[in-house]
Structure 1
């Protein structure tokens, strides 16, 4: 008989509130079956982690019992055809590009009022934009900004194409509070709002 002291060994793991991937063999309480009588064995505490998860919260994931890092993703589009007054520039000066229809905002990082994404956690992020000019013979230049610095730019400058997109993507390491937005550096987007989008997501935390 195991006795009351070790009766928990015969209790199913789920009744003990332990995850199936966690195996605990306490010192002096391990046991093995030999014939018909259980034999108590000395042992050590052993933790078996789930695949892809680090026991100490290292790069492989969160420690057992801790919540995994939050998911962060956003996607926004412009729902109107025409440029609202004052939102972008028609004379070559810098203007913010706003997106009024938010499709996804997991983690709450996208601010519709400013058209900017604010990083909630430190990590490596992926961003993509697709900005269309329609029936516009002017060159359009769009820059993706990290805080106040332009990181990448894209152009749409074919005068013979009625619909042309300035599109690009980039991976960026961000700290909490870093702000990513789009700026119209040249030209205007009259007529092209409805076809423009801005999206991004957290690839992995740092």
Structure 2
């Protein structure tokens, strides 16, 4: 059975048009940068022409998290004297909130509560109040010291103890600063405590 030539050309034209339409649709779908939503959580976005990623990203991929906005920073406006502390855990309280995105840092207790499992970055900078003494501070996670810092030059009054690190935290874990020894200077907001979620796990 042979089809007339003009009908063959018509069928070929229709098939070609349908194929081009399908390819155009697939390309547009692939370049769509809207996040994939599953149960209210943003998963992974693949963008062949990312505008917010640094140059040189060969894969052209960006990852966004719907619950990734977690950050806090606090300072202390008055000195922190051990004799004035009413708690035996020696928690350093911060009375001035600079940033608290997600409101996971509680000012009253000065404890950060991890909203989800992930890698968190913390840093602190504290200044001792007097010379002839040593100040030592620890970043505590669930009651365990993770990183510490000290300043012990006996001839320097305004010496700083500072440190920073990454910590894997589970949802509900608590992080805070503990004054191990010495007197903390808080005037003029010299002493600070900050942290943020680097990425979820």
State whether TM-score is above 0.5. yes
Conserved 8 A contact 1:78-1:197: yes
What is the CA–CA distance in structure 2 between the aligned matches of 1:183 and 1:78, rounded to whole Å? 14
Conserved 8 A contact 2:129-2:183: no
Conserved 8 A contact 2:114-2:172: yes
| C-alpha spacing 1:127/1:99, structure 2 compared with 1 (3 Å) | same
**Aligned positions, number:** 163
Structure 1 partner of 2:125: 130
Conserved 8 A contact 1:116-1:181: yes
Structure 2 partner of 1:203: 198
Give the TM-score of the pair, scaled to structure 2. Answer: 0.69
What is the CA–CA distance in structure 2 between the aligned matches of 1:173 and 1:107, rounded to whole Å? 18
1:87 aligns with one of 72, 85, 88: 85
What is the DSSP-based 3-state SS (H/G/I as helix, E as strand, rest coil) of the residue aligned with 1:137? coil
What is the DSSP-based 3-state SS (H/G/I as helix, E as strand, rest coil) of the residue aligned with 1:151? strand
What is the CA–CA distance in structure 2 between the aligned matches of 1:118 and 1:135, rounded to whole Å? 32
What is the DSSP-based 3-state SS (H/G/I as helix, E as strand, rest coil) of the residue aligned with 1:182? strand
Structure 2 partner of 1:113: 108
What is the CA–CA distance in structure 1 between the aligned matches of 2:137 and 2:186, rounded to whole Å? 13
Conserved 8 A contact 2:70-2:196: yes
What is the CA–CA distance in structure 2 between the aligned matches of 1:98 and 1:188, rounded to whole Å? 13
Structure 2 partner of 1:104: 99
Structure 2 partner of 1:72: 70
Conserved 8 A contact 2:68-2:200: no
| C-alpha spacing 1:137/1:49, structure 2 compared with 1 (3 Å) | farther
Structure 1 partner of 2:49: none
> More helix by proportion, 1 or 2?
2
Give the TM-score of the pair, scaled to structure 1. Answer: 0.67
1:177 aligns with one of 149, 172, 189: 172
How far apart are 1:69 and its partner, in Å?
2.8
Q: Which runs of 5+ in 2 are unaligned?
A: 1-12, 46-63
What is the RMSD computed on CA atoms of the aligned residues? 3.4
